Amino acid sequence: AARKEKQQATGAIDAKTFEKLMKAQELTEAGQHNEALAILDIIKNKGKIKGYGKSQMWNFYAFIYASKEDYSKAIEAYKQVISIKETPEALALQAKYTIAQLYFQLEKYDSCIKYMNEWLKEIKKPTPTSHIMLAQAYYQKKKYDLALSHVDKAVSLEKASGRQVKESWLRLKSALYYDKGDYKNTAKTYEDLVKYYPKINYLKQLAGMYGELGKDMRRLAVFDAIYLNNSFKKEGDILNLAYMYLGQDVPYKAAKIIDKGMKDGIIKRNKKNVETLGNAWAQANQHDKAIPVLEEAAKLSEKGMLFARLAGVYFDAGDYQKAANAAVKAAKKGGLKNKGNNYLLMGMSYSNIKEYRKALQAFRKAKETKSIIKDARAWELHTLKEIKLIEDLEKSKFELEEKTKKTLQSKENNKEA
């Protein structure tokens, strides 16, 4: 208000001085900064220019220094403009705004904030970009709430004017919420980015936020949308999606994704990936597909764990001979986390193909693992019963044969008599 009373354009510029100022402007626009400054120095050193003319002179100084990227001198010149009481209000406000911009360029954020807040108090209709610059300065000072308040003001002004909110503003907003640890609002902001500026990177970021919020199904849905759009070109992204499906107990989908990734040459066919593929097929009860993959993985592995897994798949598929063979290979290779389970499966497989002696040997070794003693004993008893049943049948068969022989012999003797 005080500025309005005293900032009337007084002290008109004489024609000769005006001509020199125009010449300085022409030289500046032509990139001849030093020549332009020399003209201004002549005007200044004469000491005759006052009032409005003086403010214009300093405004030219500031403009030239800014053009030379000598921001510190430009700021001092603009401060001279502000200090002259005859400076018109519009020119003083423009100088103050530019000072804030230049302080931002110099990364002097406290000074930027000071001048921008002063400008906002005096201006009737602040621009959205002024609020954004202030928000960025507050962001650099880690004053996230203040920064967010100015981003919101900028967004409101932009929407009120019927324009779409700028992408960089939404990115700043998402960064502010993220640095605050407010993942819920970070996700909402990325939803806006995806809506107005659909990019794969924003979808990935949104999926990440859903993961932080424990919204695994939403996260999976976003990743699946990216995958179906054929936008995943990196092994890690495709494997990440496959692991998500495994985590949601959808192994068939996971296996299909990994299998396609390998065929497309994106996913490497190394030990770990082949093992994951084989396990996924196995979990999906696709035994015909799981077996050759697990066989491949087992050969690549130095430990017997994959042969043990393969034995389980063979057993589930009803191929007990191959199950037993795989379990034996697993035991020989070693490195098993639970030897007992492997021996139990080995014994069960041998029992099902009626190789009972081998089965009993396996069960005896299985009983060395405390956690499965009960199951191993149960199978051992079952096997012993099977052995006894066979022995009883053999004995009965032998006795029947002997009895038949005696009966026939008796008949022969009677016939001869």
Q: What is the pLDDT of residue 391?
A: 72
C-alpha span between 12 and 52 (Å, rounded)? 7
- Whether 225 and 251 have beta carbons less than 8 Å apart is answered as no
The model scores a pTM over 0.85: no
Using CA atoms, how far residue 7 sits from 52, 53, 92, in Å, is 9, 13, 9
DSSP code for 125: S
pLDDT digit string, tens, across residues 339-365: 999 999 999 999 999 999 999 999 999
Q: What is the pLDDT of residue 413?
A: 62
Q: What is the pLDDT of residue 136?
A: 98
What's the number of CA atoms in the CB half-sphere (13 Å) around residue 171? 8
Q: What is the pLDDT of residue 9?
A: 42
Q: What is the pLDDT of residue 346?
A: 95
Q: Give the architecture (CATH level 2) of 1-124.
A: Alpha Horseshoe (1.25)
C-alpha span between 325 and 358 (Å, rounded)? 12
The residues of the chain scoring below 50 in pLDDT are 1-10
Q: What is the pLDDT of residue 1?
A: 41
- Whether 53 and 91 have beta carbons less than 8 Å apart is answered as no
Q: What is the pLDDT of residue 338?
A: 86
The string of DSSP codes covering 350-365 is HHHTT-HHHHHHHHHH
C-alpha span between 48 and 31 (Å, rounded)? 27
